[in-house]
Amino acid sequence: VTPIGTPLLAGPGSITTAILINSKEANNLPGQFAMGLGFLLVIVVTYVILMFSFPISKRMGKTGTMVVSRIMGLLLASIAVELITTGIISIILAANL
């Protein structure tokens, strides 16, 4: 799980978000502290999830893992449909159709 998850965890989207947040909070010490605390929290939660992913998947079994995989696929598909719909509506409104 870890080698597959790593590019998703530190991909272009997360790196861009970190850069944008850091540029906003560059001269603000409380903002930098909050950002660092948020990053630390994400690192700890990610570590715990990745450490317990194998025992959880072993306990769920093959069927449980397939069910969770299908549910996550359905969730991802619904997010994709929402993004596509929002994009099409924005294009139509921008074109005044």
Predicted TM-score (pTM) of this structure: 0.55
CB proximity list for 22: less than 8 A, separation 6 or greater = 32, 35
Q: List pLDDT tens digits, range 40-81.
A: 888 888 889 888 988 988 999 999 999 999 999 999 999 999
CA–CA separation, 74 and 79 (whole Å): 9
Give the pLDDT confidence score for residue 53 in this predicted structure: 86
Tokens of 45: 């939660």
DSSP state letters, 25-80: TTT-HHHHHHHHHHHHHHHHHHHHHHHHHHHHHHHHHHHHHHHHHHHHHHHHHHHH
Residue 36 is which amino acid? G
Task: Report the 10 Å Cβ neighbour count for 45.
Answer: 10
Q: What is the pLDDT of residue 3?
A: 60
Domain segments of the chain: what residues? 2-94
